[in-house]
Chains A and B, each alone.
Chain A
Amino acid sequence: NAGVTQTPKFQVLKTGQSMTLQCAQDMNHNSMYWYRQDPGMGLRLIYYSASEGTTDKGEVPNGYNVSRLNKREFSLRLESAAPSQTSVYFCASIGGTANTGELFFGEGSRLTVL
C-alpha cells in the first residue's frame, strides 16, 4: 500500500532554476495539498486541490504553481527558484469522510536552493 508518494526526495537547485515536485496518491482521495515545513514555523499551506480540476491558493503561494493532473496526481512547480524556497515540502491527501478528513502525508522532499 503506497499511500502518498513524492518525488524527488532530495534536490539541490541554483537560484533561477526551475523544477517540479511530483505527488501521487493511490487511495482514491479527492483532495490534495502541498505544504512547506520550515523550522519554527510549522506547516504552511502552499496550494490545495479540493477535487480534480480545481486548485486554490493557500497561505504562501507566491513563487509556486500547481497542476492537478488527474485524481491521483498533484504537482508543484517552482518556475524560478529562490533561496527563500529552501524547505521541506510535503504532499498530503484527505482520507475518511469529508467532515473529519484525516490527512495522509508523503515522506517529504528536501529542497535546497543555492
Chain B
Amino acid sequence: AQTVTQSQPEMSVQEAETVTLSCTYDTSESDYYLFWYKQPPSRQMILVIRQEAYKQQNATENRFSVNFQKAAKSFSLKISDSQLGDAAMYFCAYRRPGTYKYIFGTGTRLKVLA
C-alpha cells in the first residue's frame, strides 16, 4: 500500500528567507502524481504545486518549487522569499493515475516570523 510521510510536524522560517518542507512516499508504481496543498488558517485547502512522476524536471510555481527525487521517493517543497501569507499547514499527497484515491501525509505547520 502506498504511504506518504511528512516527518516535520512544525517548521519556522524568518520572513524573506527560504524554507524546505520534506515529504517521502512509498509506492511500487512507476507512474503517479504528487501534490503539495496549502491549508491557511481559514481552512480551505488549495493546490500549491503538482509533479508528474514521469517528468524529470522539477515543477515550479513562482516562489514555490519542488525537489523531486524519484529513486529516493522524496518530494520536498521549497518556499523562497517567505511571506507572512505563507503561514499555513502544508500537506503532501500522492495519487496513482487512473484511480480516484489520494493519500495525504499528516501535514507540516509552517510559521513565518516577522
Q: Does A48 contact B (CB under 8 A)?
A: yes
Are A90 and B104 in contact, with the CB atoms below 8 A?
A: no
Residues on A with beta carbons closer than 8 Å to the beta carbon of B44 = 105-108
In the complex, A56→B37 CA distance in Å? 24
In the complex, A103→B93 CA distance in Å? 11
Q: Does A2 contact B (CB under 8 A)?
A: no
Residues on A with beta carbons closer than 8 Å to the beta carbon of B37 = 103
Within 8 A of A (CB), among B1-36: 6, 9, 33, 35
Q: Does A94 contact B (CB under 8 A)?
A: yes
Partner of A99 from the list B42, B98, B106 (CB cut-off 8 Å) is B98
Interface residues of A (CB under 8 A from B): 31, 33, 40-45, 48, 50, 56, 58, 88, 90, 92, 94, 98-103, 105-108
Interface residues of B (CB under 8 A from A): 6, 9, 33, 35, 37, 42-47, 50, 52, 91, 93, 95, 97-98, 100-102, 104-107
9 sample A-B contacts, Cβ–Cβ < 8 Å, listed by A number: A43-B91, A44-B104, A45-B101, A48-B101, A50-B100, A88-B43, A103-B45, A105-B46, A108-B43
